[in-house]
Structure 1
Amino acid sequence: MAIALEILSPEKLLLARDVDMVVIPGTEGDIGVLPGHSKLVTSLRGGLVDIYENGAVAERFYVSGGFAEVTESRVAVLADEIVRQSEINAAKAAEALTAAKDAFAAVSLDDAEAYREASDTLIAAQALVDSVPPHAIDKI
């Protein structure tokens, strides 16, 4: 039995196929989704979407945030930014983390909205660096 998976960015549909299982980075923790899962809508944090086929991870996508809608037979990942793990640029990921750290350090604690936004950006940038494929780490 399989579950239909759709991964969408603001620009296009990146993937639509049946898979065995999907693990998504929910804001409250990773969520494994199998066929028959309870319905839910959740926000996403920066991290990897793992796609399982034949008992193993077949493909991984980095998402910076967004939402996921789960039904008994379908998962739709609606991501703010999404990239295949194999296409992550290690140097650009490191630059994004440095910029996010600088922005976070400069934000005023008195501005709750700016603090939350800077914190979310920092979490996503750290997740991007953590998602760099092992073969690309030496390029940072």
Structure 2
Amino acid sequence: MAETFQFDLVSPEKLLMSDPVEEVIVPGADGQFTVLIGHAPFLTTLKPGVLDIRNADGTSQRIYVNGGFADVNAGGLTVLAEQAMPLEEVNAEIMALQITDAEEDLADAGDDAEKRAVAQKQLDDLKDIQRWLLPG
């Protein structure tokens, strides 16, 4: 049996998961990274994407997250997600609403180059996820 570490996934609404796991692949702002037991501590932001979780019993689950933070520390991994839902619950309507919100954020950024860059990146990430999750 592989070694495990504590993984907690928290959304604004509730604690979604608090279990020992073998591995979690996280959509970090600077690219995906894999957390295993003994990972070096660090804190990073998340981009929209999918958490790939390998549970202690060998089963896997995939959870869509739309932004947030990941905290890797001696106690394990905590993901504070702005929004999180099992991948099978993600549908075209949810993605369309998130893309509309991101387009509004881009429009609201006006002439502020930094805000526009952040909003454009968020929009591009969501469109990539939409193409990946909902082909066709």
Pairing 1:122–2:108 present:
no
How many residue pairs get aligned? The number is: 134
- SS of residue matched to 2:8: strand
1-structure distance, mates of 2:75, 2:96: 37
- SS of residue matched to 1:126: helix
Amino acid at match of 2:98: A
If the length of structure 1 is used for normalisation, what is the TM-score?
0.78
The answer on whether the counterparts of 1:44 and 1:67 sit within 8 Å (CA) in structure 2 is: yes
- SS of residue matched to 1:38: coil
- SS of residue matched to 1:23: strand
Q: Deviations over 1:90-129 (max 9, x none)?
A: 2331353356447646853x22354145224414522541
- SS of residue matched to 2:127: helix
- Shift in Å at residue 55 of structure 1? 9.6
**1:86 corresponds to which residue?**
88
1-structure distance, mates of 2:33, 2:114: 27
**Higher alpha-carbon deviation: 94-103 or 65-74:** 94-103
For 1:20, which of 6, 19, 22 is the aligned residue? 22
For 1:60, which of 59, 62, 70 is the aligned residue? 62
Q: Unpaired runs of 5+ in structure 1?
A: none
Q: Deviations over 1:3-49 (max 9, x none)?
A: 11000001110011011100111111111000000011111111111
- SS of residue matched to 2:12: coil
1-structure distance, mates of 2:122, 2:17: 25
**Root mean square deviation of aligned Cα:** 2.8
1-structure distance, mates of 2:132, 2:15: 21
**1:29 corresponds to which residue?**
31
Percent identical among aligned pairs is 33
2-structure distance, mates of 1:95, 1:107: 19
The answer on whether the counterparts of 1:62 and 1:84 sit within 8 Å (CA) in structure 2 is: yes
If the length of structure 2 is used for normalisation, what is the TM-score?
0.80
The answer on whether the counterparts of 1:6 and 1:16 sit within 8 Å (CA) in structure 2 is: yes
